[in-house]
Chain A
Amino acid sequence: DIVLTQSPTTMAASPGEKVTLTCRASSSVSYMNWYQQKPGASPKLWIYGTSKLASGVPNRFSGSGSGTSYSLIISSMETEDIATYYCQQCCSTLTFGSGTKLEIK
């Protein structure tokens, strides 16, 4: 089974700072999806197909990558971006990464 490793586990960013979250796969995958989860809430689809923003996602978010290395990038951190972000690969079976908790500095 493919294992997804996210880094860092936790990070703090200042408002306006650029943020890069990384997801590495143990084997090459075709694309990556990302989910945002806030405390006490269900996960929300955030980025799909590596770089497509889900409905309602601010355009300060972007996604990139290929093969075994993928990134979620926030061009300018905002308070509302505080959450845990999970990467996910598919497709006959699904795997989630362990998550990156993003905090405000």
Chain B
Amino acid sequence: EVQLQQSGAELGKPGTSVKLSCKVSGYNIRSTYMHWVNQRPGKGLEWIGRIDPANGNTIYAEKFKSKATLTADTSSNTAYMQLSQLKSDDTAIYFCAMRLPLAYWGQGTLVTVSS
């Protein structure tokens, strides 16, 4: 059974960074792209970007190019996303997902930005 287990909720101060993780079991992440999607409170889904864990190649949505950094560790079958220069507008649930179409999703990580 494929499972994506995301790290726990984060509380970050404005101007700082947080790093989220997404550990995959039941599937080798070298064989797929790992995607990240966010959902602001009461809003819709927004694609952030994706990484090819086999070679580290990344593609970002334009608005997240200076906000998010995607990495992956194939030895631990885990994908990561770092969010930098946090602002209140970054408060959201962040999901990892894989395969296209996005057949497998993590449970989401709530990031709250507050001083």
| Size category, A interface | 20 to 34
| Size category, B interface | 20 to 34
**Prevailing SS type, chain A contact patch:** loop
Q: Is the CB of A45 within 8 A of B101?
A: yes
CA distance A37 to B61 in the complex (A): 22
Residues of A within 8 A of B (CB): 1, 33, 35, 37, 42-45, 48-49, 54, 84, 86, 88, 90-99
Set B47, B50, B105: member contacting A42, Cβ < 8 A: B105
B53 at the interface (CB under 8 A from A): no
Q: Is the CB of B62 within 8 A of A98?
A: no
**Which B residues are in CB contact (< 8 Å) with A45?**
101-103
The residue of chain A having its C-beta at the shortest distance from the C-beta of B62 within the complex is A1
Q: Is the CB of B102 within 8 A of A35?
A: yes
B95 at the interface (CB under 8 A from A): yes
